[in-house]
Amino acid sequence: MELKEVTKTEGTMDIQDILKPENLVYQKTKLLTDTPMHYCPGCSHGVVHKILAELIDEMGIQERSVGVAPVGCAVFAYNYIDIDWQEAAHGRAPAVATGIARVNPDAFVFTYQGDGDLASIGAAEIMHACNRGENILVVFINNGIYGMTGGQMAPTTLEGMVTATTPYGRNTDLNGYPMRITNLIAQLPGTSYVTRQAVHTAGGVRKCKRALKKAIQNVLDKKGTSFVEVVSTCNSGWKLSPVAANKWMEENMIPYYPLGDMKDSVKGEHSEN
């Protein structure tokens, strides 16, 4: 810290008088490892990792937690959150998580998947895991693109959106429509809590954390599959600065993928709204 003294409007206060342990209000959770994340600057993945790590710590479930990492930019998630992990083949995380959760009924098992992983190659696995009501949490990072492989169109890519494989924008006649897969999942009786969140503002991060907490609690209470979509940015794939990507997401993604809870129930009860 280079700044030595701060002149506050109501008198002088040495900054060292503020930087004291008793005044600490926010710091990195110990569940995040010291390994620097490989994500591009400003990527939503880092924020979602962080709130998951905070919750696992705050809820005291580190020893019971097993994450299943995807293929996609989050493939190295196991390097960053200090819990047990299993890496799955592309799109197969819900099937792998099914096995882990069934043989370890007291574990907290979750998948962490991108939109290419979950809604494209893994569409069958996610639908059937949710339909079976597996007792897992699914964290779904919807950034509207295949980030890892260089920004190709995903099922979630918006109409008209330019990607590496849609240089003239997504054409619905050729490419079909952007898929609101979370709405489909909310229809399945196996799911308990289904919600769509975003982490582009501090308020959004706090809300998303509350939603994830409820979803984790549902898994601990064996209520069925909980599903949390996080509308996210891929500023590299979108070819925007991180701050511009957040704004673009707010103006373009959120109107098509509106935020909020879609279902709050227990498995077997068909009460999506």
Partner 1 sequence: MARVIGAVVVDKEECKGCSVCVDACPHDVLALHFEVNSKGYHYSYMKSPEACVGCANCGVVCPDTCITVYRTKAS
Ligand X SMILES: Cc1ncc(C[n+]2csc(CCOP(=O)(O)OP(=O)(O)O)c2C)c(N)n1
Binding-site ranges for ligand X (CB under 6 A): 71-74, 90, 114-117, 121, 141, 143, 145-149, 154, 234
Token reading at 156: 């979630």
Which residue stretches of 59-201 are H helix? 93-103, 115-116, 123-132, 172-175, 181-186
Touching ligand SF4, residues 146-165 (CB under 6 A): 147-148
Does 120 sit near ligand SF4 (CB under 6 A)?
Answer: no
Type of residue at 95:
A
Give the total of residues touching ligand SF4 (CB under 6 A): 12
Pick one of ligand SF4, partner 1, ligand X, none as the site partner of residue 106 (Cβ within 5 to 8 A by kind): none
* Contact status, residue 235 vs residue 47, Cβ threshold 8 Å: no
- Residue 19 gets which letter from DSSP? S
Smallest distance, Å, CB 136 to ligand SF4?
23
Buried b (16+ CB within 10 A) or exposed e, 222-250: ebbbbbbbbbbbbbbbbebeeeebbebbb
Does 43 sit near ligand SF4 (CB under 6 A)?
Answer: yes
Pick one of ligand X, ligand SF4, Mg ion, none as the site partner of residue 74 (Cβ within 5 to 8 A by kind): ligand X
Smallest distance, Å, CB 145 to ligand X?
6
Type of residue at 194:
V
Pick one of Mg ion, partner 1, ligand X, none as the site partner of residue 133 (Cβ within 5 to 8 A by kind): none
- The residue ranges that bind Mg ion (CB under 5 A) are 114-115, 143, 147
